[in-house]
Amino acid sequence: MIVKANSAGVLGTGHYVPDKIVTNADMEKLVDTSDEWIQGRTGIKTRHFAEDGLNTSDMCTRAAEQALEMAQLTAEDLDMIIVCTLTPDMTIPSTACIVQKNLGAKNAAVFDLYAACSGFAYGAITAAQYIETGMCRHVLVIGAEILSRFLDLTDRNTCVLFGDGAGAAVFGPVPEGYGVLGADMGADGNGGKYLNIPSSGVAILPTDEARAKHLTFIKMDGKEVYKFAVKVMGRTAERALERAGLDHEDIDLLIPHQANIRIIKSAAKRLHLPMEKVFVNIDKYANTSGASIPIAMDEANRQGRMKRGDIITLAGFGAGLTWAGLVMKWY
């Protein structure tokens, strides 16, 4: 039996998206596509793109400030900051270090976590472990991406799918019986070839030549990723529920990774959930990778969709290929 020093739950949430809104009509001017095709295949109507000069750390900082305000905490109350991103400002220092400086969180240990679209769920599970063991009291978890700078605007199969944004949550101690009740996480590295940015590290350096060959942009085998997502997103939620001693009937709200409305509906069907119990905002923001779940969670929170005692389930999948699920009793 595992004895917890504390139960870990969410104390505050926040999010930020850039001001620039890109519509499907705007995308029609760039590639051979249509609003009807994009909405029908994905559920996306608009997405937000970061303006020049706005970096991932800037969006992280703004989302974090909102979450801290809701939690009624100061930056100095933080023991740890975890930034989940695949689009850091730079390789070193970590984006988390830049956010620490911006916030003035001088007491926090910090690091970046790399799990793509599953990132926030991975980060939330990690934060819970630190709090449950008593090593940390308050952990800030941020999911943030500027994917627009990695899009091939001549590839209609990818460029219409993604957007930019950041979401944040402060995790801390909550009364026993509340907070994180169960979790699941995993990966299948054999699927890494289906979703990648070939020139984004040391294997193929991101030179002008690589950029000219479009190797610095997101590459995706949409059919393979779709098959994977339909299989794992509902399954990871089921496993997290099982570990929490709960069933799909106990779910009050499912907050899934916002990649594709058809994938979301497939997960809801597997969990026997009506769409009224599923939070969806992909129409506004498109796929923001690691930011999608925390942005959705903050919107749901501020809309009053999560009340004390509700069973909230997070479920994500992403490049790697990775997946993660988390079940919480909201406090």
Tens digits of residue pLDDT in 91-149: 999 999 999 999 999 999 999 999 999 999 999 999 999 999 999 999 999 999 999 99
CATH of domain 180-329: 3.40.47.10
Pair of tokens at residue 284: 């506004």
Tens digits of residue pLDDT in 235-282: 999 999 999 999 999 999 999 999 999 999 999 999 999 999 999 999
Q: Which of 15, 48, 138, 257 is catalytic?
A: 257
175 contacts: CB under 8 Å, gap ≥ 6: 7, 331
CB 182 within 8 A of CB 241: yes
Number of C-beta neighbours around residue 109 at 10 A = 16
272 contacts: CB under 8 Å, gap ≥ 6: 248, 249
CB 286 within 8 A of CB 17: no
- Catalytic-residue membership of 287: yes
Q: Comparing 44-48, 67-71, 219-223, which segment has the lowest mean pLDDT?
A: 219-223
- Catalytic-residue membership of 196: no
- How do the domains of the chain map onto residue ranges? 7-176, 180-329
- Distance between CA 51 and CA 179 in Å, rounded? 37
CB 248 within 8 A of CB 277: no
Q: Which of 55, 238, 58 is nearest to 149 (CA)?
A: 55
Torsion of CA 75, 81, 83, 84, to 10 degrees: -130
From residue 71, alpha-carbon distances to 54, 156, 216, 331 in Å are 26, 41, 39, 12
| Mean pLDDT computed over 51-73 | 98
Q: Which of 117, 138, 159, 301 is catalytic?
A: 117
- Catalytic-residue membership of 248: no
Q: 180-329: same fold as 7-176?
A: yes
Domain 7-176 indexed as CATH 3.30.70.270: no
- Distance between CA 3 and CA 103 in Å, rounded? 33
Tens digits of residue pLDDT in 74-88: 999 999 999 999 999
pLDDT of residue 132: 97
Q: Which of 6, 55, 260, 287 is catalytic?
A: 287
User: Looking at the DSSP assignment, which residues form a beta bridge with residue 264?
Assistant: none
pLDDT of residue 2: 63
User: Looking at the DSSP assignment, which residues form a beta bridge with residue 11?
Assistant: none
Confidence of residue 4 (pLDDT cuts 50, 70, 90): confident
Tens digits of residue pLDDT in 298-330: 999 999 999 999 999 999 999 999 999 999 999
Percent of the residues in the chain that have a pLDDT greater than 90, as a whole number: 98
User: Does residue 5 register a pLDDT over 90?
Assistant: no
- Distance between CA 150 and CA 218 in Å, rounded? 6
Number of C-beta neighbours around residue 145 at 10 A = 29
> What's the mean pLDDT when you consider all of the chain?
97
- Distance between CA 229 and CA 232 in Å, rounded? 5
From residue 311, alpha-carbon distances to 9, 30, 112, 236, 330 in Å are 12, 43, 28, 16, 6
From residue 181, alpha-carbon distances to 191, 296, 330 in Å are 29, 20, 10
